[in-house]
Amino acid sequence: MKKLLKGLLWLVLMVALVAPVGVAVAKTTFETSERSISIGAHQATLRPDYSGEIVFDAGPLLPMVKMPVDDPRFGIGATIYLGDADVTTLDELVARDAVIASQPDGEVAAVRAALRDMWIDSALRGVGVAMALLVLSFVVWSAVGADRRAELAAQWRRPNRRRLVGGAVAVGLVAASVVVVVRSDPSSATNDVSWVKLTEAFPELVVDQPFVEKLELSDGAALRGGETIISGALTTYQASSEFFDELAETAKDVRVRKPDDNQTVALVVTDRHDNVAMDPTARQIAENAEASLLLDLGDDTSNGAAWEEFSINSLAREFEDFDVVAVAGNHDQGTHIADYMRDSGFTLLDGEPVDVDRIRFIGSSDPRSSGLTKGYTGDEDDNIAAISQQDEELTEAACDDGDVAVALVHSGASAKQLAQSGCVDLILSGHLHRQVGPNVVVSEDGDPTVTLATGTTGGAIYAFALGTGLRREAQMTLVTFERGKPVGVQLVDIDTGGAITPQDYVELDDLIADSPDMPDEEDEE
């Protein structure tokens, strides 16, 4: 029993000795780490600290921006160095950032997630180092052997040696404590900077969101020299916030069909083209319809660039409690946006049937590149061949499966054969930026398929939707399911003035029964 207690005492002592080292390693690793992320229209570098504040540094031409962290656990903050963006003028860049800033929740969530991951990685490294030291100490303890340990203990009991060794241990513990307790200056990059509140620098600014009151700008030549640009950005921010905030409020009073018992509803969005300001309105329409599923038909971005992650961040944030089934569009081409959809928890369809919320889906991303994307070749024959191959593969997979309820494609051209096969109940598409359907296509065997193209949810003209309002009429669709099968659709129109008009709910059985292409009972006999 005495040996056991002595062993436990030594273990506690060793843990007490290595724990400060582990904490120091974790802290130092966190403070010296950095991560590349996309913020708004920029590729950016995130460097954490313990300032309890977030500082945005866009370079020498614009003032730095500082804001407190809403949840300053452990005093964690960061400096974000904003990098390149694919714009040609500073005015254009600032205006774009202003629109994105009007709906900041997605970007805030992305920064918070990055800081959390960096903190966890640093903590794990600290734990790893502490455990390695503990194991090493145990190995050395065992290798020395009981006899040699007894000799060393006898020597340590001599008064002078005891004081020397005890002093060394005390110094070690104090040094470790100093490393843990003493923090490097958390604002070393900005401690010589004078700050002025945004509302004081621009008193004409109408404060419509609480976080705006907390923003501070670095005072100096960049602020004075960039007043015109900043003032223009603030005007853009205000106009965007006013229009889209009012639109989301209007959506609260929009009456759409609610599901009956044993029914579920999905919201369909498509061709958002970076217009994150529409996402709160889409969410409100979904709540009005008691939807629980989001179907994203692609073209969430304009050119599939890494900086456009903010569009996926916003959608993921706004519908964080929804299952999301998605395909990428021709403007999302390349692997980055598709991979980011997966990383954000979306079910990205890849040509094989999958079940989500007891509904069987099939679909795949658009194989083409738009004229704005990196992979564009200008060869329309290649595009036609790619679409035809996609259609053939989806048709074969759906017909072999036999139980697919819904196909998701970005363009209806990717599912013409599929529609004529009768192997799915409903085909949903976008791409055209205008509504087409719902229409009924009947196979040679008399099996019906309903096709529907939804207009642009972002209100986009070509691939551009960011702005202080809608560039054209926007649209989204509500699809009702019962026992895993689509039974009805309802489209919702939003005009450029902010009026929201739900279309009549369409029962798919009635639509099919009224189709002139459906064989009557005598023909079937």
Q: Output phi, psi for 438, to 5 deg.
A: -75, 135
% of the chain at pLDDT higher than 90: 40
Is 90 exceeded by the pLDDT of residue 347? Answer: yes
> Which residue type, as a one-letter code, is found at position 13?
L
Provide the b/e sequence for 140-167 (b: ≥16 CB within 10 Å): eeeeeeeeeeeeeeeeeeeeeeeeeeee
Q: How far apart are CA 277 and CA 209, in angstroms?
A: 15
DSSP label of 228: H
The pTM for the full model equals 0.70
Question: Confidence class of residue 341 from pLDDT cuts 50, 70 and 90?
Answer: very high
Closest CA relative to residue 297, chosen from 92, 443, 446, 451: 451
Q: How far apart are CA 108 and CA 490, in angstroms?
A: 33
What is the model's pLDDT at position 14? 64
Q: How far apart are CA 267 and CA 455, in angstroms?
A: 13
Q: How far apart are CA 421 and CA 113, in angstroms?
A: 45
CB atoms near residue 389 (< 10 Å)? 12
> Which residue type, as a one-letter code, is found at position 372?
L
- Helices 159-181 and 2-32: angle between axes, nearest 10 degrees: 40
Q: How far apart are CA 320 and CA 281, in angstroms?
A: 15
Token duo for residue 185:
């200056």
Is 80 exceeded by the pLDDT of residue 88? Answer: no
Is 80 exceeded by the pLDDT of residue 243? Answer: yes
**SS3 state at 491:** strand
Is 80 exceeded by the pLDDT of residue 69? Answer: no
> pLDDT tens, 296-323?
999 998 888 877 888 898 899 999 999 9
> pLDDT tens, 118-137?
878 888 887 887 778 777 77
Is 70 exceeded by the pLDDT of residue 244? Answer: yes
% of the chain at pLDDT higher than 70: 70
Higher pLDDT, 104 or 188: 104
> pLDDT tens, 202-219?
776 665 666 667 778 787
What is the model's pLDDT at position 373? 42
Higher pLDDT, 43 or 512: 512
Is 60 exceeded by the pLDDT of residue 524? Answer: no
> Which residues, listed in sequence order, are joined to residue 195 by a DSSP beta bridge?
218
- Helices 336-343 and 309-318: angle between axes, nearest 10 degrees: 30
What is the model's pLDDT at position 180? 44
Question: Confidence class of residue 434 from pLDDT cuts 50, 70 and 90?
Answer: very high
Query: What value does the mean pLDDT take over residues 232-241?
Result: 66
| Contact present, 414 and 365 (Cβ < 8 Å) | no
- Helices 227-251 and 279-288: angle between axes, nearest 10 degrees: 10
Torsion sign (Cα): 258, 259, 260, 261: negative
| Contact present, 193 and 82 (Cβ < 8 Å) | no
| Contact present, 76 and 50 (Cβ < 8 Å) | yes
Query: What value does the mean pLDDT take over residues 67-76?
Result: 68
Token duo for residue 473:
């009429």
Is 50 exceeded by the pLDDT of residue 83? Answer: yes
Higher pLDDT, 386 or 326: 326
Is 70 exceeded by the pLDDT of residue 27? Answer: yes
Token duo for residue 116:
């959390």
DSSP label of 364: B
Token duo for residue 505:
């709910």
Alpha helices in 296-379 (DSSP H): 309-318, 336-343
Higher pLDDT, 470 or 353: 353
> pLDDT tens, 172-194?
544 444 444 444 444 445 567 88
What is the model's pLDDT at position 188? 46
> Which residue type, as a one-letter code, is found at position 180?
V
Chain mean pLDDT for the chain: 80
What is the model's pLDDT at position 433? 94
Q: Output phi, psi for 151, to 5 deg.
A: -60, -45
- Helices 309-318 and 105-156: angle between axes, nearest 10 degrees: 90
Q: How far apart are CA 479 and CA 265, in angstroms?
A: 6
Token duo for residue 239:
């106009």
Q: How far apart are CA 479 and CA 474, in angstroms?
A: 17
Is 60 exceeded by the pLDDT of residue 436? Answer: yes
Query: What value does the mean pLDDT take over residues 355-363?
Result: 97
Is 70 exceeded by the pLDDT of residue 349? Answer: yes
Alpha helices in 402-443 (DSSP H): 416-421
Question: Confidence class of residue 81 from pLDDT cuts 50, 70 and 90?
Answer: confident
Q: Output phi, psi for 431, to 5 deg.
A: 75, -40
> pLDDT tens, 135-154?
777 777 677 666 665 665 66
Token duo for residue 412:
């209806």
What is the model's pLDDT at position 397? 97
> What value, to the nearest 5°, has the Cα angle with vertex 407 and ends 403 and 413?
135
What is the model's pLDDT at position 186? 46
Is 90 exceeded by the pLDDT of residue 39? Answer: no
